[in-house]
Structures are given as C-alpha cells and as structure tokens.
A and B are shown apart, each in its own frame.
Chain A
Amino acid sequence: MFVHNLRLGTHSLRRNPLLTALMIMSIGFGVAASMVTYAVFRAVSGDPIPQKSSQLFAPQIDNRGPQYNREGEPPDALNYTDAMALMRAHKAPRQTLLFQVGLSVTPEDSHRMPFKALGYATYGDFFPMFDVPFQYGNGWGAEQDNGREPVVVISRALNQKLFGGENSVGRRITLEDRQYRIVGVTENWDPKPRFFDMFSGNAYADPPQVYIPFTYAIDQRIDTYGNNNCGSDGKRGDDFDSWLRGECVWISPWVELNTADQVQAYRQFLDGYAEEQRKAGRFNWAPNNRLRDVHAWLEHEHAVPPESRISLSLALGFLVICLVNTIGLLLAKFMRRAPEIGVRRALGASRADIYHQFLAEAAMVGFAGGVLGLVLTGAGMFGVGLVFEPQIARLAHLDISLVLLTLLLAITATVLAAFYPTWRAAQVQPAWQLKSN
C-alpha cells in the first residue's frame, strides 16, 4: 500500500513540475541555511570535555573589591598570591594552575630557524584532570612540581617537527635558552573551546605545543604570554617580583571535585579564605567568590560568538518562513485535486487512505528537499570560511550526523507542514465534488 501511495505521489508530483520544484527549493534552501549555521553553532558551543564537565571547576576570588567589578563579578583569573594559597591549601582531590607561555624553540640543526611554540606552565595534575591522552611517556608528578624541575611535555605535532615522530621521552630540547627533559608526548589533543584558558582569549586558538612546570616557570621568571589584567587602576609593577606580589590577575585555576559534598566544602573553603584575607586587612569587602563548572564557566565567558547566535536565530526564522511557504504550496497543490479526492472517496477510500497518500507525497517532497538541502549545505560550508575565523570554520564540517540530521529535518518539517493541507484534503466532500463535475 505504501509503495502504491509513493507511486501515486510520484505521478502527482510529475503532473505539476513547477509547484513541485518550488516546494523542493523552498525546503532545500531553508534546511541548508539552518544547517550551515547550526554546524557553526555546534562547533563553537559543544562540550569540550563531556565526560568530566560537571567535575571540573574554575574558582574565582574577588581580590579587587566592588568598585572595580563589572556587575559584581570577581575577576576571571587569580593573582599569584591567591593562586598559591589555593595550591597550598590542597582542598580538592586534584588541582592545577596555569598560564600561557610562548617559548622559542631552537632546533639542534643550526641551519633551521628558531620558531615559537605556545603552551602552558601548569602543575602535574593538569594531565589526569583534563584526561590528556599520551602518545609516549606521561605527564610529570608532584615531585617535579615541588622540585621545580625543567621537565616538559610536548605535543605530537612538535615531536614530529623536532624528532620525526620518534619516541623522544628522555631527550632534551632547548626552549629560549634553557634545557628541558622531555617526559611525555601528548596525542593530538585540542578541546574546543579551550575551556581551561578562556581568560587569555584562546578559546579557538591553535593547539598547545608545550607544557612546563608552573613552579619552574615562576623560578625562571618566565612571563605570561596570555592576558594580564591589572584592573582599572592597578599597575603591573616595576619588576617581576612586585608583579607577583601585586593584584594583577593572570593565572587560571582549576580544581576537580567529584561529589556535591566536595563542591559544598570547596565553596566554604573559598569563603573562609576571603574572610581570612578580610581579617588580615587585605580585602575590605564581603567574600565574593564563584565556583563554576565547565558549562557555567563557558556561559559566563560568552564562549559562543554573538555572530553565530544571531545567525542561528535568523536561520531558524528562515526555516519557519520556508515551512509557511511549503504549507501554502502544498495546500494549493492538494486542493487543486479536490475532484480527484472526491472520486476516490466516492469509490470507497477512507479518510485514512487520503492521509496516507498525501503524507507519503509530502514525505517524498521533503526527501527531495533534503537532498537539495544537503548539496546546498555542502556549498554553504565553503562559505563559512568567509564569515568566521578559520579556527571556527575548520570545526564546522559536514559529517555523517549532520547529513542524517539535514535529511531528517527536511522530511520531518515537510510532513509536519503537510498536516494542515492534508487535513483539508481529507475534508473534501465526495458528493459535492461529484455533483459539481
């Protein structure tokens, strides 16, 4: 029966090629516009670490007071004093601090030019906390953190560039003018957006190449390559030490908390710490801290570019218009066949038969629209590069799930749009149509 309905549908679609073409184009364009923008939206608003996003938290401490805060929000990073206090207190099962470093790599082969490698100064907990995958070796441990050792973890890409992809664990590399011992080589690891370093605006930056111990970096007075925010009246200070002691914020802290109790306890610890600072005379305002998990943090940091959201809203409106259009066209198409429906009904077809026939026809239109939409979506993906930074455009691509989603959306939307016209068609009175004939 279904096959019969499809055959009827094909016949009817062929009979009126202009209307059919209009419908297919309408659906195709609507679906394509929505899917292109959805792909961008998905690329920039996905969960970068789904398995752990509810266990990782970014603590924030207000070290400047209400007069410098925007809408009462504490700064998005910590200064050195508060960051070290969190590390010393050790109130979470795992915790790390990080700031961006940009180090020049000097290849052993003296014919090659030095080049820049960006990465992070951090603590050993970074690797297990963020589930960093390793190709060779591992991260470093507390021993290296405490010993302020010049060890380094490099990325697979950097290892490829320097050592041709061999296992380089145990070898040495020169960063700036210091020698480091390689302890691990990561797999290609690049969560997007880079939730742990939103503070420096690196959400969609190229993947990090090096990781060195935070303690060693501070010892060697390696400056941050990321942002440094001294508030509206703060000064950076005259030298490295006064900068460290000052109130400029530049360190992103992260803690891993596995249970609701641990989260609760950590909040209390933060408030207790701020209260302590107040008693010591450093803060003269009530504790104003935050503890946000990955989702809340990305939301707070506006990780999704406004362009993407605006275009998503407009594209949804676009899809709605195309559907309204399809309803109208289907109505015209179906009602034009009122006499035919009358004959079928008079010959004994039930309302259900009419529904089946017309919905099957609509589904075919939807499928054709979906195929066209798919082609247009593919073309649109090339256009994404025009609108967004290449880092984002790279992420928006046509994969299997997107292909299926496009077809599904097109068919579902068309069948939904067909309900009203079909209902009208099923209401056709056989007697009236026969009489008018």
Chain B
Amino acid sequence: MLQIKPILAALKRHKAGTVLIALQIALTLAIVCNALFIISQRLDRVHRPTGLVESDLMAIQNRFVGTEENNAAPLIKADLVALRQLPGVQDVVAINSYPLRGGGWSTGVRTDVDAKDSKAHTTQYFGDEHTLASMGVRLVEGRNFRSDEIVEADPQAIPDPAAIIVSKALADKMYPDGHALGKTLYIGDSKKPSTIVGIVERLQVPWNGTWSDSFYENSLIQPVQLTSAFTNYLIRAKPGQLGDVLKAAPAALVKVNRMRVIPSDRGVRTFAEVREHAYKGDRGMAILMGVVCLVLLGITAAGIVGLTSFWVGQRRKQIGVRRALGATKHDILSYFLTENLLIGVAGVVIGALLAIAMNLWLVTQYEMARLSVPYVLVGVAALLLLGQGATLAPAMRASRVSPVEATRSV
C-alpha cells in the first residue's frame, strides 16, 4: 500500500494506457452485468412450472375436414373412444389449448356483476371431467367436474357455466382472504355467476411471452366440450408407454376417420417437445448472451495482459534499479498488482454507473426489469479478479528481472 504514491506518479506518465484499461474494464462490466441479468431472467422463465405432470404426456393437434365448422361433437366423441381404448393410454381430454401451446383463449373475470372493469385476466380451458387427470394437475380444494355437468357448445355461443375450476393463483387474486371455494365469478361480460367448485394447485396459461407474465398462472377450466372442427387431444400414457402411444394414437385417429388434418409439423408432440419449442427463444438468448460474456471477458483479459506486458518491457531498467537498491521480488509483484487494482477500481466505479445507465435505457426501450444490485457487485468482483489474474503473468515476469538489468542500457 505504501507504493500507491509512486504508482500514481508512474501512471501519470502512461495516461493513454491507463485510460484504455480503465475504459475497457468499465465497458465490459456494463455489458456483462446487463447480459447476465438478461440470462437469469430468461432462465427463471424457462424453469417456471406449468402445474402439469409433464412426463408421459403428449398432444395431438387435429382439424376435421369437410364437416360444418361447428358440428364436430360426434367426431370428437368417436376419437375419444378410440384413444381411450388404446392399451398404453391412461386418460385423454379434448381441449381447446394447454400450457405452453402458444395459442388459446383469454378473458377478464369479475367478482362483482356490476363492475365495469375486470378484476383479473385469465385463460380459459374448455374440457370435461378427464381434464385434471389427463393434465396431471393437483386438486387442492373442492372437487372435479361431474360428467353430468359437461355441456357441448359451439365456440361462438358458449353458455355461462354453473360450475368452474380455477387455479390457486386466480382464486387468491379474486378472493384474497383465501376462501374462494364455493364463491362465484363472472366471466367476460357475463351476467350469470359461475361457482368455483374446485381449486387446482397450479395451472399455467398457454402463452409464455412477456405480455402474459402478469397473469401466467391465472387459469379457469370450464365444463364445456367445444364442438369446433379444430381441437387438441392431450393424452396421458401409462408410465413408460409414451413411445408406443406416440405412434399408436395418430394411427388410431386416422383409422377412425381419414377426413382430418394432423399437421406433419408439430401436429403430434410429447410435452417435452412442447416445452422445448416454447422456450427455444429464451434458452437461445441465454446461450448467446453467455457466449458473448465469456468471449468478452477473455478479450478484456487479453487486453490487460498485452498492455501490462508492454509496461513491464518498458520498465525493465527501472525494475532492475529497484531490485539493485534492495526491492524484493515480492515488492515488484505487488507493485504491478496494486497498479492494476487502482486502475481496476476506477474502471469498475465508472462501469457500475454505466451498467445502471444502460439498464435504465433498456428498461425504457424494451420493458425490461430493473437491474438488481447483486449483479453489479458480482460483476465488479469478477472484473477486479480478472484484472488481477491477467496482470499476474506479466508481473511475475517483472519480478524475475535481475538487478543486472540496471546496468544495461535498454
């Protein structure tokens, strides 16, 4: 620490190099902090649970051809019978959508019939009494639908259901006192109340875009079998038999009725594939940012090694003189490490300010979240360590300069 004064004096003679290293550290800190923050946000989203038991689960997208748009009820029934007869199938539901599918229905819900604005936004799933078992969601309060509660309906004219099942998140949002079971909700602009007969632990919406983040666990299941020509079959295979069902189910459907379209691309998928597809962008972004950060840190380290080596080379004679006057190897080593630390501290202070400024800019431009302090602190520590590490090799070389150098001319 006693060396600080002479170091500062020496740095004054190398203004350009000092400024360049400090600048490099500052910029790297600013970008790495923000990139790490983006990565962690993405990964948090990727690991959000859907509420489903995702193993042994698959989905088939189906559209009947040549039927009137809303007369598919008997066809869907025939399909369900055929699928349920397959040996490897545990349960099946015909449903308008499912978590992470990407498209679905959403609406506002109210607790007060006269309220003009909805109290919460929610997705709507339309299914029968097999919904919970097929999805593998856990009922925490109340009961499942009874088969006599299920109605058939044209998607353009869905009756307000007497009984509904909601996710816990939606129940708590509508009735914060925790007593939602048995209470009523008004769906959309309906005037007829729907009673909550069951509450499931968790059930995600079909979307995973940031726009749905504000309501991503608000779900509502209505006891309605839609009669539209378009439907999704969500199939739960018996444990370990998913591979067989994956082949048998589409074949069984085609055998029942050929006049249908099951898209060759993503028409038949395991839930693992659904998840993989849904989070492709998030995961890819995290990987890209991760690679960028690593390379960036490498380049910054390389820059520090380069400039410090230059300084060491330039000062061989001075080092030799110092050694001749009695400085130990350790003194020389700590001189260069302290020098780098001083520059590094200046760099990280500027860098921390830059990081926050950059994050604020991203917040205004792209609706990103605010950077939290730990990220900046981790970044600061990482860059200071990186600087010390990068200086180590040239500084060691400096410490090995022999006192004889003092007598040489260059």
Q: Among B108, B299, B362, point to the contact of A321 (Cβ < 8 A).
A: B299
With A26-B299, A309-B366, A420-B16 as contacts: A317 and B281 at CB distance below 8 Å: no
Question: How far does the alpha carbon of A66 sit from the alpha carbon of B69 in the complex, in Å?
Answer: 35
User: Chain B residues near A436 (CB, 8 Å)?
Assistant: 409-410
Per CB-CB distance, the 8 closest pairs between chain A and chain B, nearest first, are A332-B310, A387-B284, A386-B284, A325-B303, A104-B65, A328-B20, A329-B306, A22-B302
Query: Are A320 and B27 in contact, CB atoms less than 8 angstroms apart?
Result: yes
Asked whether any CB of chain A lies closer than 8 Å to the CB of B251, the reply is no
Q: Are B30 and A317 in contact (CB under 8 A)?
A: yes
Task: Indicate which residue in A235, A239, A313, A386 contacts B288 across the interface (CB closer than 8 Å).
Answer: A386
Q: Chain B residues near A327 (CB, 8 Å)? A: 20
Q: Would A321 and B366 count as touching, CB distance under 8 A?
A: no
Does A85 make an interface contact (CB < 8 A)?
no
Contact A314 B292, beta carbon cutoff 8 Å: yes
Q: CB-defined interface of A310-350 with B at 8 Å, one 1/0 digit per residue?
A: 11011101101110110111011101100100000000000
Instruction: Give bound CA distance, A409 to B7, whole Å.
Output: 38
Count A-B contacts at CB 8 Å: 147
A219 at the interface (CB under 8 A from B): no
CB-based contact B261/A223 at 8 Å: no
Which chain A residues border B292 with CB–CB below 8 Å?
33, 314-315, 318
Instruction: Across the interface, name the chain B residue whose C-beta is closest to A238.
Output: B157
**Is there an interface contact between B303 and A386, defined as CB atoms closer than 8 Å?**
no
Partner of A437, one of B281, B302, B409: B409
Query: With A310-B366, A328-B21 in contact, is A388–B258 under 8 Å at CB?
Result: no
- CB contact list, B41-97 vs A, under 8 A: 63, 65-66, 69
* Contact status A386-B287, CB under 8 Å: yes
A387: contacting residue among B69, B157, B260, B285, CB under 8 A = B285
Check A388 against B281 for contact (C-beta < 8 Å).
Answer: yes
Interface residues of A (CB under 8 A from B): 18-19, 22, 25-26, 29-30, 33, 104, 106, 113-116, 176-177, 223, 232-233, 235-239, 243, 306-307, 309-311, 313-315, 317-318, 320-322, 324-325, 327-329, 331-333, 335-336, 339, 383, 386-389, 420, 424, 436-437
Known contacts A25-B299, A104-B261, A238-B157; decide if A311 and B285 are in contact (CB<8 Å): yes
Q: A22-B302, A232-B108, A243-B156 are in contact. Are A387 and B27 (CB under 8 A)?
A: no
B300 contacts partner chain A, Cβ-Cβ < 8 Å = yes
8 pairs of residues in contact across A and B, judged by CB atoms under 8 Å: A18-B306, A29-B299, A314-B34, A314-B289, A321-B300, A328-B306, A331-B310, A333-B310
Q: In the complex, which residue of chain A has the Cβ closest to the Cβ of B295? A: A29
Residues of B363-410 at the interface with A, using a CB-CB cut-off of 8 Å, are 365-366, 368, 409-410
Chain A residues closer than 8 Å to B366, beta-carbon distance: 306, 309-310
Q: Is the CB of B302 within 8 A of A389?
A: no
- Determine whether the beta carbon of B280 is less than 8 Å from that of A424: no
B227 at interface by CB-CB < 8 Å: no
B118 — nearest CB in chain A belongs to which residue? A232
- Is B296 on the interface with A (CB-CB < 8 A)? yes
- A332 & B258 in contact (Cβ 8 Å cutoff): no
Residue of B with least CB distance to A21? B302
B interface with A by C-beta (< 8 Å)? 16-17, 20-21, 23-24, 27-28, 30-31, 34-35, 38, 63, 65-66, 69, 108, 118, 156-157, 188-189, 254, 258-261, 263, 280-281, 283-285, 287-289, 291-292, 295-296, 299-300, 302-303, 305-307, 309-310, 313-314, 358, 362, 365-366, 368, 409-410
Q: Choose among B69, B118, B310 the residue with the greatest number of A CB atoms under 10 Å from its CB.
A: B310
Q: Which residues of A contact B24 (CB under 8 A)?
A: 321, 324-325, 328
User: CB < 8 Å: which of B20, B260, B313, B362 contacts A310?
Assistant: B362
Contacts of B156 in A (CB 8 A): 236-239, 243
The distance in angstroms between the C-alpha atoms of A437 and B410, with both chains bound, is: 7
Which residues of B lie under 8 Å from residue A321 when comparing CB positions?
24, 27-28, 31, 296, 299-300
CB distance from B7 to the nearest CB of A (A): 19
Closest to B254 in A: A113
Taking a contact as CB atoms under 8 Å apart, the answer to whether A339 and B16 are in contact is: no
Other A-B pairs beyond A106-B65, A329-B306, 10, CB < 8 Å? A29-B295, A104-B65, A114-B65, A311-B289, A315-B292, A321-B24, A325-B300, A328-B20, A331-B16, A389-B280
Instruction: Tell me, in angstroms, the Cα distance from A298 to B20 when the chains sit together.
Output: 41
Taking a contact as CB atoms under 8 Å apart, the answer to whether B259 and A114 are in contact is yes
Closest A residue by C-beta to B64: A104
In the assembled complex, which residues on chain A have CB atoms less than 8 Å from the CB atom of B260? 114
Chain A residues, Cβ within 8 Å of B31: 314, 317-318, 321
**CB-nearest residue of chain A to B23:** A324
- Across-interface contacts of B63 in A (CB, < 8 A): 104, 116
Contacts of B69 in A (CB 8 A): 223
Distance to closest chain A CB from B259 (angstroms): 7
Question: Are A322 and B299 in touch, CB under 8 angstroms?
Answer: yes
